[in-house]
Amino acid sequence: MKKIYSLIIATFIISSNAYAQSPAQNLMPDGSHDMYLGLGVVSRPLYEGANQTKRQAVPVMQMQWSNGVFVAGMSAGWHLSQTFDQEFGPIITMEPSRTANGTSGSIQMSGDIHSGIVDPNRVGLPHVQQNRLIGMDDIRTRLLFGGFYNYQLSGQLRQTNTLMFGAGNDQRGIRLSSDLRYHLRDALPHHQFTFGTGFTLVNRAYANSYFGVSELEADRSINLKFSTKAGIKDVHADVFWNWNLNSSWMVTSKLNVSRLVGDNRNSPLVERNTNVAISSAIAYRF
């Protein structure tokens, strides 16, 4: 039980630039572990749907024990399956806050974010920087609970699913992420590539928390009142690249491209439908 509490605390203090997936389970000898720690940088939208980007320093971490317990970024979970082709179990993850300064979760390196309420009568003046989150309710940090199920379709093809509950200030938001991932082995010596594509499905409470605008929020911001509904939030594609420098050091990089679909793309908060995030870090394996 103490180990589980430690993992929960770790999810609060370790940052990640994307929703973490459970790492593939390695059937390790009893009492063994595998872990790496590192530091990198990420460039991503200020918040999902924003035109403005920000760059951050990002600590990276992944730990896995032979009993199936793992920590990956801001997520922690437990592999309950003992077979290679199927992985399932509980998972907890930290959903970062969202304020007028953007989505939290990492150390900000740069970015000049306008603060203060924007006067709607002055919108369009060149010296006024618009920020559509100003006047909107802050979305507080939440600890989400759920589960994962992964299925190994072949030696290189893997289907992953993660279902999370408790997002948004009312804690009623539900998110399902489903991805198909192809792992390319031995393409280059010491390099590994994984290509993924998938979608994110959310309920109405989640969609309105992140893309809706209430009447009160419309009165104090530059946004019009807006309500959305349940459905597919986005479709996305990922490229993962790991470069093993030697037995201890590695460079891990990720490119993520996502596109908002359905009602969410019509939200007044959304300035662009396509979002791009790229990160790279150097890590030490223990």
Residue 126 lies in a domain: no
DSSP code at position 121: G
Measured between alpha carbons, how far is 7 from 17 in angstroms, rounded to an integer? Answer: 19
Of 101 and 219, which is predicted with more confidence?
219
- Mean pLDDT for 151-156 is 94
Q: What is the pLDDT of residue 174?
A: 98
Residue 121 lies in a domain: no
Q: What is the pLDDT of residue 25?
A: 54
- Mean pLDDT for 159-179 is 97
Of 273, 271, 276, give the one whose Cα is nearest residue 130: 271
Residue 129 lies in a domain: no
Of 111, 136, 110, 134, give the one whose Cα is nearest residue 123: 134
As beta bridge partners, residue 102 has 99
Q: What is the pLDDT of residue 34?
A: 82
Measured between alpha carbons, how far is 280 from 164 in angstroms, rounded to an integer? Answer: 26
Total domains in the chain come to: 1
* Banded model confidence at residue 73, pLDDT cuts 50, 70, 90: confident
Q: What is the DSSP string of 251-280?
A: EEEEEEEEEE-GGGGG-TT-S-SEEEEEEE
Residue-wise pLDDT for 4-29, tens only, equals 334 333 333 333 334 445 665 555 55
* Banded model confidence at residue 208, pLDDT cuts 50, 70, 90: very high
Residue 125 lies in a domain: no
Residue-wise pLDDT for 77-136, tens only, equals 999 998 889 999 999 999 999 998 888 654 222 222 223 333 333 344 333 347 899 999
Q: Answer whether 172's CB lies under 8 Å from 205's CB.
A: yes
Q: What is the pLDDT of residue 32?
A: 63
Would you report the helix, strand and coil content of the chain in percent, each value rounded to 5? 10, 50, 40
Residue 17 lies in a domain: yes
Tell me which amino acid residue 18 is: A
* Banded model confidence at residue 183, pLDDT cuts 50, 70, 90: very high
* Banded model confidence at residue 42, pLDDT cuts 50, 70, 90: very high
- CATH code of 280's domain: 2.40.160.40
Residue 117 lies in a domain: no
Q: What is the pLDDT of residue 224?
A: 96
Q: What is the pLDDT of residue 181?
A: 97
Residue 259 lies in a domain: yes
* Average pLDDT over all residues of the chain: 83
Query: Structural domain of residue 199, as residue ranges?
Result: 2-110+140-285
Residue 134 lies in a domain: no
